[in-house]
Homo-oligomer: A and B are copies of this chain.
Amino acid sequence: MTASAESPRRGRGRPAGGGDRAAQILDAARREFAEQGYDGASLRGIARAAGVDPALVHHYYDGKEALFVAAMQLPFNPAEVLPRVFADAGGPDEIAERMVRFVLSIWRDADTRAPFLALLRSATGSETGAAMMRSFVAHALIARVAEQLPPAPDRELRVNLAAAHIIGVMLMRYVVRVEPIASADEEDVIQRLLPAIRGYFCD
């Protein structure tokens, strides 16, 4: 999971000097995402900034989301992992529980937390950082959870509220480390959080 997110695609021949070119592409991607935001950046523009052919970027990365994941060193690609997280879930109650447990499992571990904390810092640190994240959060995360729920015009807003709750808890527990939530038992936190998250998913 980590390898596929952090390295160029496998199973395809890499040109000589591919490591340098991959690093050039990732550097260019970070600059372009920072300057243009997730929505504004394009694989073509990133290729131009990296001084490589767009075909090479496509060869390494399966689209903008995969390149963003690699550039930000996220420990997984939501496009691949979220469908597995929610596979065969019995209904909104279980979707809610899997979402809560999955996010906790990322944030509890300092190594997997680090890249998400870096994104949170970018997003809160400046409008540029916020713009970089904004539509990645909406499209790669919120929309993917929402499509697990029964169709409803407000399901993105419900998932957004639930996501806001969970990220607020991560912020208090793992970043600011406010008591008593910082030292509370994890299963206790999950059990207290679940009714609120389920309230958004079912009703």
A residues contacting B by CB (< 8 A) are 117, 120-121, 123-125, 130, 133-134, 137-138, 142, 156-158, 160-161, 163-169, 171-173, 175-181, 184, 189, 192-193, 195-196, 199-200
Between A117, A172, A193, the greatest number of chain B beta carbons within 10 A of the residue's beta carbon is seen for A172
Residues of B within 8 A of A156 (CB): 179-180
- Residue of B whose beta carbon sits closest to that of A117: B124
Residues of B within 8 A of A181 (CB): 157, 160-161, 164
- What is the bound-complex CA distance between A164 and B168, given in angstroms? 4
- What is the bound-complex CA distance between A177 and B137, given in angstroms? 10
Residues of B within 8 A of A166 (CB): 168
**What 4 additional pairs, Cβ within 8 angstroms, besides A134-B176, A163-B168, A199-B199?**
A134-B179, A138-B179, A156-B180, A165-B168
**Nearest-Cβ distance from residue A145 to partner chain B, whole angstroms:** 13
Complex partner residue of A178 from B160, B178, B180, B184, CB under 8 angstroms: B160
A130-B175 contact in complex given A124-B124, A161-B181, C-beta closer than 8 Å? yes
Asked if A138 contacts B171 (CB within 8 A), the reply is: no
- What is the bound-complex CA distance between A168 and B199, given in angstroms? 17
Can you list 15 A-B pairs, Cβ within 8 angstroms, ordered by A? A123-B175, A123-B176, A124-B176, A134-B176, A138-B178, A138-B179, A138-B180, A156-B180, A161-B193, A163-B168, A164-B173, A164-B181, A167-B172, A192-B200, A195-B199
Asked if A192 contacts B161 (CB within 8 A), the reply is: yes
- Residue of B whose beta carbon sits closest to that of A119: B176
Between A124, A142, A156, A199, the greatest number of chain B beta carbons within 10 A of the residue's beta carbon is seen for A124
Residues of B within 8 A of A130 (CB): 175-177
Asked if B172 contacts A164 (CB within 8 A), the reply is: yes
Residues of B within 8 A of A171 (CB): 124, 164, 167-168, 171
- What is the bound-complex CA distance between A193 and B196, given in angstroms? 9
- Residue of B whose beta carbon sits closest to that of A123: B176
